[in-house]
Amino acid sequence: MIAMDLHEIRPHLWYLHVIDLFSRYSAAVVITNKRSSTICEKILKIWIGVHGPPKSILTDNGREFDNSELHDLAENFNITIKTTLAYSPWSNGLLERHNRTLTEILNKVSCDPHMDLETALAWSVNAKNSLANIHGFSPYQLVYGTTPCLPTTLTDDLPALEGTTISECVARHLNALHRARREFIAVESSERIRRALRKQVRTLSNFVTGDKVYYKRQDSNEWKGPGVVIGRDGVVVFVRHGGSYVRVHRCRLNKVGEQDNRQEKGAYQNIIENQIEGRSVGIPQEGNQVEEEDENASHRVEDHFQGVEDEVGNVASETEQVQTQTYPALEDPHYTRPQVGQNLKYTGEDGTTVVKVLSRAGKATGKHANWFYIQYLKPDSSAGSTQSIDLKSVNNLEVITPESMAQERGDSPETVFILDNLIFKEAKQEELQKWKDFAVYEEVPDSGQKCISTRWICTIKETPNGSVKKARLVARGFEDKDRNKIPTDSPTCAKESLRVLITIAAQNKWQLYGH
């Protein structure tokens, strides 16, 4: 597979960059327009005519690539065209990263007023192909089996060591060669690029027990590790790093490579099983006596987990994998700390106040452990507004359960099961009716097949006519095991489709309205 893209050098001037995704071997050519015929001609000259046709080509959704002429070229050479998602340059991140490296070298080499752009680009590509280290080899070695023998002080003969030439053309190319190699070494160790690559690292993997990962802590922006995943609770992943145990949100994790290292995974398996069964971390088992050193290890693990910031609200412990104390003991035995998502009622200045807990406003183990962000549901005068309050300081705090609300309203158990938050009862009923009216789902017999779960998104929006309660029932599509097979390309409307639509409208004597 190869990837290709256009990179703008200056207004109305681009270079076409083609790269092999395995060896990182690059080819590039300067172009002055983005016509499809120009793109096809350059691909044939710099790649297919030299290396032969690839099995597939990866591009973005630009019209210079997504057109009938390039599709015809691919059909004639048995090539599959693949495109990235719209407005998602990271979907082709390997090419974008090499684009940046190649552009920085090109800008430095072409700053010489006597240097033409084609010569500068040719030697910039040569420097990247001969000096880059991919899988322990240069791209030239992976493609041709050897690296070009270019002039160096280590291998030059006596005439080459003179460093003079009578040809202006040869002098220009030699200067471009050495300048490009110097700039590639500078770009390769650029701190600015390192700083950029450390930011916005996207996590797209599902983490399972035994995976080796890098992680970030809440109080630091530096990557730590590698550690080993020993358990998971929703979006929270438990990681063992040396003798420490940390709890990290999955968006602050990055898997170490994608290859399956069975030996290392197997080496950690016994350690993980011992920890789960309570033999290594000092978790008491029924009928067994725990040794003193294991008991000390248990205290160290619990102390470490208590000191970790709660990054995703209240997290339930994994009952079968990692047992640890999440919160310290409460001073008031009559007070139960609320959970994120619960509905509460208490006595306020305006009488009975009903609120929904949105998120935590302080550390679970800090002095602000009882502060939460809440959204007012009642009274109607403040419905929809949010603020942070100390819930331990309010009067007559009660958790509103679906059963208690059902008893007050006289609803059946089935209604309680579906409409767990009866404050949004009408909005939820309206949403369920829309699912039926628009045939969103189709009922099928339950034969033990894998199902995905759903959740309600309930909000209160302020409008000129007052507060409006809205409820949306969403399905967790990321739980679908075949999600990677579902096409997610951005829908586009081609010129041909518009012509067909207008023709059908004319035949049926429909009227077309624009907006």
Average pLDDT of the chain to the nearest whole number: 75
In percent, how much of the chain has pLDDT > 70? 74
- Average pLDDT of span 248-276: 54
State pLDDT tens for residues 150-188: 877 777 677 777 777 778 888 888 888 888 888 888 887
How many Cβ atoms from other residues are within 10 Å of residue 421's Cβ?
19
DSSP string, 169-192: HHHHHHHHHHHHHHHHHHHHT-HH
CA distance 53 to 43: 10
Per-residue pLDDT tens digits for 114-133: 888 899 999 999 999 998 88
Contact partners, residue 10, CB within 8 Å, separation at least 6 = none
Cα 468 to the center of its chain, rounded Å: 34
Residues 212-238 have pLDDT tens digits of 888 887 777 788 888 899 888 877 888
Residue 132's identity, in one-letter code, is A
Quick check: bond before 148 cis, omega within 30?
no
Phi, psi of 357, rounded to the nearest 5 degrees: -80, 120
Distance CA 47, CA 85 (A): 25
| Residue 103 predicted with pLDDT over 80 | yes
Q: 156: helix, coil or strand?
A: coil
For residues 329 and 325, what is the distance between their CA atoms, to the nearest angstrom? 9
Distance CA(148)–CA(128), nearest Å, equals 12
Q: Is the pLDDT of residue 295 over 50?
A: no
Residue with tokens 């639509």: 501
Bridge partners, 16 (sequence order): 6, 29
pLDDT in tens, 274-288: 444 444 333 333 333
Residue 312 CA to residue 218 CA, distance in Å, equals 11
- For residue 66 the two structure tokens come to 């997504």
Lowest mean pLDDT among 105-109, 201-205, 242-246: 201-205
Please count the residues of the chain.
Answer: 515
Percent of the chain with pLDDT over 90: 15
Q: Tell me the pLDDT tens digit for each residue of 403-456.
A: 565 555 555 544 444 444 556 788 888 899 998 898 888 888 888 888 888 888
pLDDT in tens, 13-42: 899 999 999 999 999 999 999 999 999 999
> Taking a C-beta distance cutoff of 8 angstroms, is the pair 411, 401 a contact?
no
Predicted local distance difference test score (pLDDT) of residue 388: 83
Q: What is the pLDDT of residues 348-404, one digit of tens each?
A: 766 788 888 888 888 877 888 888 888 887 776 677 777 888 888 888 888 876 556
305-351 per-position pLDDT tens digit: 344 333 333 333 333 333 333 333 334 555 677 888 788 888 876 67
**Closest of 486, 484, 490 to residue 61, by C-alpha:** 490
For 181-286, strand residue ranges (E) read 212-215, 224-233, 236-241, 244-249, 253-255
* Triad 426, 429, 433: Cα angle to 5°: 140
Q: How many CB atoms lie within 10 A of CB 123?
A: 24
137: which DSSP letter? Answer: B
pTM (predicted TM-score): 0.42
> Residue 456: its pLDDT value, please?
84
Amino acid 422: pLDDT: 58
